[in-house]
Structure 1
Amino acid sequence: MDKRLKFNEPWILQRADPYVYEKDGWYYFTASVPAYDSIVLRRAKKLADLPQAEEVVIWKKHESGPMSKHIWAPELHYLEGKWYIYFAGGEEEDIWKIRPYVLECQGQDPLADAWVEKGKMQRADGDEFSFEAFSLDATVFEDAGDYYYVWAEKVGVGKQISNLYIAKMESPCKLATVQVLLTTPDYDWERVGFWVNEGPAVIHHGDKLYLTYSASDTGVAYCVGMLTATSGTDLLDPLNWRKERHPVLQSSYEKGIYGPGHNSFTKDEDGNDIMVYHARTETEIEGNPLYNPNRHAHLMQVQWDENGKPVFAYD
């Protein structure tokens, strides 16, 4: 363990929805920037060096039309020999028309090589529903040789509900199967301010898959829930996922950590599992929480109990 790593305190300031990807001995970091106007990347050989690493703007929003407003929650993935970035964006003319989009890198250096827009993520043939409404926070994971795409999408009328859906991928830019509902906000802790499930992330441990997600509005009530499935089973069968009754991570007034959520997972140089999440350091939020910049990236070492289940603890 790098002794310079500090846990459960601001690590990279004003970077919400933090995402870390490790490949070939390099750690890559991206996140939502407060202006919601671009996608940034930085890299370092060690997690502890990422806060000081140079940040590169690899893509900027359009002036109008799709991808011109609310550029949110980018994730970097390496699939089929190429780098991809999955992100969500709205339109200047319709700022809540949030949809998922894909960028593809034209070389092997994601910080220096050109990125091209692949457009909106494509749903499967015969799927009439996916990405028709407010859709964001896509993540990609692999199990038993197949790649899966998990995202949040709103349904209903009036005060819309944000659910999590899963589909198998045909290619890095297209789904192979129609959407399957994974989780909807069932419990009171998922319904504070808004009824929300969003921000999925997956960690493998033993023969299990653990999918964390974020719930409720983005203030102090924001928290992390979890689903569990067994690797190699039919992950498109919602009955193969078990949902936790209570949040697995929430605000701590004792520690001064508020609204933890929208995490990703990585490993440190010694192979320890690390959760990368954002949180606030104050309870009183000035202005609209969505536009307050003080969501900071934090690190937490994941513990594992005697049953091989993850424990997310501030201690």
Structure 2
Amino acid sequence: MSELKLNNPLIEQRADPWIYKHTDGYYYFTASVPEYDRIELRRSRTISGLAETEGTTIWVKHETGWMSANIWAPEIHYIDGKWYVYYAAAHTSETRDGLFDHRMFVLENEAANPLEGEWVEKGQVVTKWESFALDATTFEHRGTRYYVWAQKDPGIPGNSNLYISEMENPWTLKGEQVLISRPEYDWEKQGYLVNEGAAILKRNGRIFMTYSASATDHNYCMGLLTADESSDLLNPTSWVKSPEPVFATSEANGLYGPGHNSFTVSEDGKQDILVYHARSYKEIEGDPLYDPNRHTRVQLIRWNEDGTPNFGVPRPDTKLVNAD
């Protein structure tokens, strides 16, 4: 297996990165911007090209009310011939400051190229609680579309747990909304009790769901849930949690707080790639949320003999002369 010849960081000051390779041959990239005030898209024929192109702003936050602050973790998906962007946004008003007051929202675009056309607000994805909710992702399996997200259950101590539901359409849930993971281990409870930022990788007869845990400083790390592809994905017992983090800070390589990942594939489609953010320093002045230097990074995923992913450790930052 060849090495991935790409610069790290790939894109600076872009957290919660999402890279999706579409059937049109383009890679599409979106992420949280440091200002938390808009959603940007980039596209390129190559992964390295994403770093060389300017972002196109497709949506800007509202002045007040819902969707007026802290626009976090957008993801772009192509579903039934249309483009959708899922994102979290907070509420601001005279009495609400927008911090940790998020709900989940959806944009839709019918254009072939999502950097063109009109993005239409489809509204909030309504769940069974009106509480802090974020980091939605979606995937299809055996003819059913699922939605996975992080939310605060008012009856459970902590900050956020992971839930799954079927979808009626790309902006509406249906049926039962099931808790599949909550912070249990010490590494999920550093600073905050957090499970968030789920991403799906289907390989080798299983569905692997990564997620991120703990505070967004050097304690941030990735956990893993695994389900058999033939299991009932709405049954919590189908999801087995790995007892240790699968991707965490590397003091030796100078990478801190890796997490909020996504997955993409190499340009030949043969290699799976981990996309994530991390900082290059441990000590942070002030609130980690307002430190802009969570940079987008990428590296190859290895596969163990038993068919499970091996994420290794965050590789050192490199600047290649001829990245490809």
Which TM-score band (shorter chain)? Answer: over 0.9
> Does the 8 A contact of 2:3 with 2:300 survive in 1?
no
Per-residue deviation, residues 207-227 of structure 1 (Å, max 9, x unmatched): 110000000000000000000
Find the counterpart in structure 2 of residue 126 from structure 1: none
Using a 3 Å threshold, how does the CA distance of structure 1 residues 3 and 216 change in structure 2: closer, same or farther? closer
The list of structure 1 runs, each at least 4 consecutive aligned residues, that deviate by more than 2 angstroms after superposition, is 1-4, 155-161
TM-superposed CA distance for 1:49, in Å, is 0.9
> What residue identity is the alignment partner of 2:302?
Q
> Does the 8 A contact of 1:159 with 1:194 survive in 2?
no
The separation in 1 between residues aligned to 2:3 and 2:205, in whole angstroms, is 28
The separation in 2 between residues aligned to 1:160 and 1:62, in whole angstroms, is 29
Q: Does 1:102 align with 2:141?
A: no
Find the counterpart in structure 1 of residue 180 from structure 2: 182
> Does the 8 A contact of 2:81 with 2:110 survive in 1?
no
Q: How do 1:84-99 and structure 2 match up within 5 A?
A: 84-93=84-93, 94=96, 95=98, 96-99=100-103
Q: How do 1:36-55 and structure 2 match up within 5 A?
A: 36-55=36-55
Alignment RMSD, CA only? 1.5
The alignment covers a number of residue pairs equal to 307
SS in 1 for 2:175: coil
Percent identity between the aligned chains? 50
TM-superposed CA distance for 1:157, in Å, is 7.1
Find the counterpart in structure 2 of residue 5 from structure 1: 6
Structure 1: gaps spanning 5 or more residues = 124-128
1:203 to 201, 204, 221: 201
SS in 2 for 1:201: strand
> Does the 8 A contact of 2:276 with 2:297 survive in 1?
yes
TM-superposed CA distance for 1:283, in Å, is 0.5
Q: Does 1:74 align with 2:74?
A: yes
1:135 to 116, 133, 136: 133
Q: How do 1:1-315 and structure 2 match up within 5 A?
A: 4-6=5-7, 9-23=8-22, 24-93=24-93, 94=96, 95=98, 96-123=100-127, 129-130=128-129, 132-156=130-154, 160-270=158-268, 271-314=270-313
> What residue identity is the alignment partner of 2:16?
D
Find the counterpart in structure 1 of residue 319 from structure 2: none
> What residue identity is the alignment partner of 2:45?
K
Per-residue deviation, residues 42-81 of structure 1 (Å, max 9, x unmatched): 0000111110012100000000011000100000000111
SS in 1 for 2:51: helix
The separation in 2 between residues aligned to 1:2 and 1:113, in whole angstroms, is 37
> What residue identity is the alignment partner of 1:111?
L
What TM-score does the superposition give when structure 2 sets the normalisation length? Answer: 0.92
> What residue identity is the alignment partner of 1:106?
E
Structure 2: gaps spanning 5 or more residues = 316-324
SS in 2 for 1:178: strand
TM-superposed CA distance for 1:89, in Å, is 0.2
What TM-score does the superposition give when structure 1 sets the normalisation length? Answer: 0.94
